[in-house]
Amino acid sequence: MVSRASRPIVLMLMAAAVTVGLSAPLTSNNSAGAAGDDFEVANWTDPDGKDHRIRWNPCQTKVTYAVNTRLAGGTTAARNAAVADVKAAFKRVSNRTGIPFAFAGRTSEIPNNAEDESWSNRQKAAEIVVAWVDQSRAKYRTNLMTDNGNGYASGVGGWMMRAWTDSEGRWRAAIGRGFVVINSGHNSTYTAGFGSGVTRGALLLHEIGHAVGLDHVGTTSEIMYPTMLERSFSKYKDGDRNGLSRVGKPLGCIAGASDTWPQI
């Protein structure tokens, strides 16, 4: 068990950003995608040629998340409201995936990437850390958010996956850590809560979607469209829901995941 945990053979990091687009308000027939049930999930092909859906082990007792709200708002009430939005977003993801997310409290951690296997040593607050960041200040900066030439995105979400072989030589793979970083420089663009407009709730649903394995889609009406648009809703749409069901409990347990990923 321990020997397997100490020898993860494959490591993959995925980080996807969302930008904010306010110039073209979405209307009901302004759909760039053909199908309303569009979704994108990621697979990993093992060295034996078998495909594995990149996902969390949904049979963990819980998957913890912690929130760093230091830069989420100027008052205690505003920061508390940000935590409430994060909790509400995770609850929706839990409902759709069957993954038992559990709030682990506040943290001062800011997720960062390093090109080694130390992710689980560095991120101690929870398996998923949600943090508001400020790319203009070293203390609050993350290397998971990069300037694409047009400035920084509103948020980035992603996961860390490890793959290993079991006692019979079969490949297994599981996400074991995730992150969501929110650009505090865009706070004023987003309305707190869920509802119509450009909401923080929709931004969180999008980034947490990445943290559980969803990729972008071309359908503008969906939460996983890569640009935040002004909308009449902030909830997962049919395609998002289809995607969530394909990274969750219906796919079954991933044996040995807890040996490879120490749970928090």
Nearer Cβ to Zn ion, position 16 or 161? 16
**Residue 219: helix, strand or coil by DSSP?**
coil
Shortest Å distance, C-beta 224 to Zn ion: 7
Shortest Å distance, C-beta 216 to Zn ion: 5
Tell me the C-alpha distance between 50 and 171, whole Å: 8
The most distant pair of C-alpha atoms in the chain lies apart, rounded to whole Å, by 55
Shortest Å distance, C-beta 75 to Zn ion: 29
Output the CA torsion sign for 250, 251, 255, 260. Answer: negative
Nearer Cβ to Zn ion, position 16 or 205? 16
Binding site for Zn ion (CB under 5 A): 16, 18
Nearer Cβ to Zn ion, position 16 or 181? 16
Tell me the C-alpha distance between 45 and 215, whole Å: 17
Tell me the C-alpha distance between 239 and 136, whole Å: 36
Nearer Cβ to Zn ion, position 55 or 216? 216
Shortest Å distance, C-beta 16 to Zn ion: 4
**Residue 220: helix, strand or coil by DSSP?**
coil
Query: Contact, 208 vs 243, CB < 8 A?
Result: no
Up-side HSE of residue 1: CA atoms within 13 Å toward CB?
A: 7
For residue 197, the cross-strand partners are 231
What is the number of the residue whose Cβ is closest to Zn ion? Answer: 18
Shortest Å distance, C-beta 167 to Zn ion: 37
Shortest Å distance, C-beta 209 to Zn ion: 8
Nearer Cβ to Zn ion, position 17 or 254? 17
Query: Contact, 16 vs 156, CB < 8 A?
Result: yes
Nearer Cβ to Zn ion, position 16 or 104? 16
